[in-house]
């Protein structure tokens, strides 16, 4: 392919992605599915002309996926406002992410071990990526939900990403050292590590914010993004949850007035900071859109339809997601005392982070991923199943439930956003978070 052809194809792909995104906003059909299928079609056409060397994808996809994950988590954090009345939403998002994630890992790894005869270490490692909700898909897909539901999805999916990566790295470290997966010593060390990461993240966040204040060059936000990528890379080297730093940095930028003490605010130009924050948010959103576009296109491009030589991956993929969806349904049923599921039950897509962790499994010495029953085809079926269920479950408009779990937050939402809710939803009422 010559230079002129590349200059024509790449802009067209961005245009298609923009059209897919517009379609997704109207139909609630995930744009990433359309991007992946576009990649599959492009590969089929290129194969027809005899080009079959796709080795470059092995390095390109992980890089794009990692940068996309950083940008999407950062973008989601920049949209969140920390207020006392939102503390219940934050806690609900965290506990939902933690409980559902851990329970899915336990059940799915047990099934892998006892029904598919997969060795214990491999069963645990393979189950973790499949259990993680993808913030890269969930956050954009929640755009059509009510404000509180959207915030819940942002918190839950982001916490699911962070906790999933932490558990994944923790499990690998324990298995490589031939230690028990769960022990008092390892849990204490993990807790200390988390506290240390949070403290270091706060320090890095404050230093980066000071850097934004000091730099008077007209190009500075890409420097900040580059430093965040470096922080993430160093975190990966030391097996630390660097996404925590990204998330805290985004929250800090969007909530400077609420988080900084008044005596520290006197030394900062907060009005200029708010203007810069708006520009930084736009840059992050645009960059996330571009990186996500090419990641899912290239991931679809990496899929060969010839690899689906049997129906086994399809059956396994559907069964795996079916089990995990039931776990999510029972969790929301138990916590809301309602049999009828809300739209949030369906918001559990798999995607970018699952793909990235699956690619890392290939580098683990004690797992033979090339001959495993759980492979990329099973992962693809799980991803597609989760996205289709999300689409079907969120097509209807939210309706009010009879039982209100958080009357104070609902009352506040009614007082502050009653006019917006009336304009956007007409006579439809607001649905609970959980």
Closest CA to 400 of 334, 345, 340, 348: 340
Residue 359, pLDDT score = 84
Residue 131, pLDDT score = 95
Write down all domains in the chain, each with its CATH number in brackets: 3-393 (1.20.1530.20)
Rounded to the nearest angstrom, the gap between the alpha carbon of residue 89 and the centroid of all alpha carbons in its chain is 18
pLDDT for 220-244, tens place per residue?
A: 788 888 888 888 888 878 777 777 8
Residue 266, pLDDT score = 61
Q: What is d(CA 131, CA 402) in angstroms, rounded to the nearest whole number?
A: 31
List the structure tokens of 124.
């645990």
Question: For residues 411, 414, 417 and 421, what is the CA-based torsion angle, rounded to 10 degrees?
Answer: 140
| Average confidence (pLDDT) over 105-116 | 95
List the structure tokens of 315.
């059956």
Residue 248 makes CB contacts below 8 A (sequence gap 6+) with: 77, 198, 201, 202, 205
Say if residue 160's pLDDT is above 70. Answer: yes
Rounded to the nearest angstrom, the gap between the alpha carbon of residue 147 and the centroid of all alpha carbons in its chain is 19
CB of 161 closer than 8 Å to CB of 132: yes
Residues, the chain: 434
pLDDT for 253-274, tens place per residue?
A: 887 777 766 656 565 666 666 6
Q: State the average pLDDT for the chain.
A: 80
- pLDDT-wise least confident of 129-138, 181-190, 329-338: 181-190
Q: At 407, is the pLDDT very low, low, confident or very high (cuts 50, 70, 90)?
A: very low
Q: At 90, is the pLDDT very low, low, confident or very high (cuts 50, 70, 90)?
A: confident
CB of 354 closer than 8 Å to CB of 383: yes
Residue 154 makes CB contacts below 8 A (sequence gap 6+) with: 76, 79, 80, 93, 135, 138, 139, 142
| Average confidence (pLDDT) over 208-230 | 81
End-to-end CA distance of the chain: give it in Å, rounded.
51
Q: What is d(CA 142, CA 134) in angstroms, rounded to the nearest whole number?
A: 12
Residue 320, pLDDT score = 96
Q: In 10 A of CB 362, how many CB atoms?
A: 12
pLDDT for 297-344, tens place per residue?
A: 888 888 877 777 778 889 999 999 999 999 999 999 998 777 777 888
Q: At 43, is the pLDDT very low, low, confident or very high (cuts 50, 70, 90)?
A: confident
Q: At 370, is the pLDDT very low, low, confident or very high (cuts 50, 70, 90)?
A: confident
Say if residue 411's pLDDT is above 50. Answer: no
Residue 434, pLDDT score = 43
Say if residue 425's pLDDT is above 90. Answer: no
Q: What is d(CA 221, CA 370) in angstroms, rounded to the nearest whole number?
A: 41
Say if residue 208's pLDDT is above 60. Answer: yes
Question: For residues 120, 125, 128 and 134, what is the CA-based torsion angle, rounded to 10 degrees?
Answer: -160
Q: What is d(CA 183, CA 299) in angstroms, rounded to the nearest whole number?
A: 38
Rounded to the nearest angstrom, the gap between the alpha carbon of residue 358 and the centroid of all alpha carbons in its chain is 15
Q: What is d(CA 356, CA 196) in angstroms, rounded to the nearest whole number?
A: 25
CB of 84 closer than 8 Å to CB of 256: no
Residue carrying the six token digits 């009352």: 411
| Average confidence (pLDDT) over 390-411 | 52
Residue 264, pLDDT score = 61
Q: At 421, is the pLDDT very low, low, confident or very high (cuts 50, 70, 90)?
A: very low
| Average confidence (pLDDT) over 81-108 | 90
Query: Looking at the whole model, is its pTM more than 0.85?
Result: no
Residue 318 to residues 103, 174, 306, 361, 389, Cα–Cα distance (Å): 18, 30, 20, 21, 11
């Amino acid at each position: 392919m010559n230079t002129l052809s590349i200059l024509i194809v790449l802009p067209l792909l961005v245009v298609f992605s923009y059209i897919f995104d517009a379609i997704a906003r109207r139909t609630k059909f995930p744009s990433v599915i359309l991007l992946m299928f576009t990649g599959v079609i492009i590969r089929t056409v290129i194969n027809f002309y005899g080009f079959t060397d796709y080795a470059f994808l092995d390095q390109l996809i992980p890089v794009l996926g990692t940068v996309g994950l950083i940008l999407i988590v950062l973008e989601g954090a920049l949209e969140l406002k920390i207020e006392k009345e939102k503390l219940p939403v934050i806690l609900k998002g965290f506990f939902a992410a933690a409980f559902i994630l851990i329970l899915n890992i336990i059940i799915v790894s047990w099934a892998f071990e006892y029904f598919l005869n997969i060795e214990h270490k491999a069963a645990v490692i393979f189950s973790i990526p499949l259990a993680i909700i993808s913030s890269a898909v969930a956050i954009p897909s929640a755009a059509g939900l009510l404000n509180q539901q959207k915030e819940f999805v942002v918190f839950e999916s982001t916490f699911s990403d962070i906790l999933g990566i932490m558990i994944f790295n923790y499990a690998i470290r324990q298995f490589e050292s031939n230690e028990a997966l769960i022990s008092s010593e390892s849990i204490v060390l993990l807790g200390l590590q988390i506290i240390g990461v949070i403290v270091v993240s706060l320090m890095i966040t404050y230093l980066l914010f000071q850097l934004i204040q000091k730099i008077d060059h007209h190009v500075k936000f890409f420097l900040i993004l580059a430093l965040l990528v470096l922080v993430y890379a160093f975190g990966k080297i030391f097996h630390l949850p660097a996404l925590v730093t990204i998330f805290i940095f985004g929250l800090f930028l969007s909530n400077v007035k609420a988080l900084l003490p008044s005596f520290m605010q006197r030394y900062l130009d907060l009005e200029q900071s708010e203007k810069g924050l708006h520009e930084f948010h736009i840059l992050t959103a645009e960059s996330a859109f571009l990186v996500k576009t090419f990641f899912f296109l290239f991931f679809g491009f990496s899929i060969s339809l010839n690899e689906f030589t049997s129906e086994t991956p399809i059956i396994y993929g559907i069964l795996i997601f079916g089990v995990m969806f039931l776990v999510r349904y029972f969790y929301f049923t138990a916590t809301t005392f309602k049999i009828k599921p809300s739209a949030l039950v369906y918001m559990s897509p798999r995607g970018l982070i699952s793909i990235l962790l699956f690619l890392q499994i290939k580098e683990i010495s004690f797992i033979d991923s090339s001959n495993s029953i759980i492979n990329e085809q099973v992962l693809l079926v799980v991803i597609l199943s989760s996205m289709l269920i999300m689409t079907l479950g969120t097509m209807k408009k939210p309706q009010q439930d009879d039982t209100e779990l958080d009357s104070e937050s609902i009352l506040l939402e009614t007082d502050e956003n009653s006019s917006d809710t009336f304009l956007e939803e007409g006579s439809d009422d607001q649905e609970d978070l959980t």
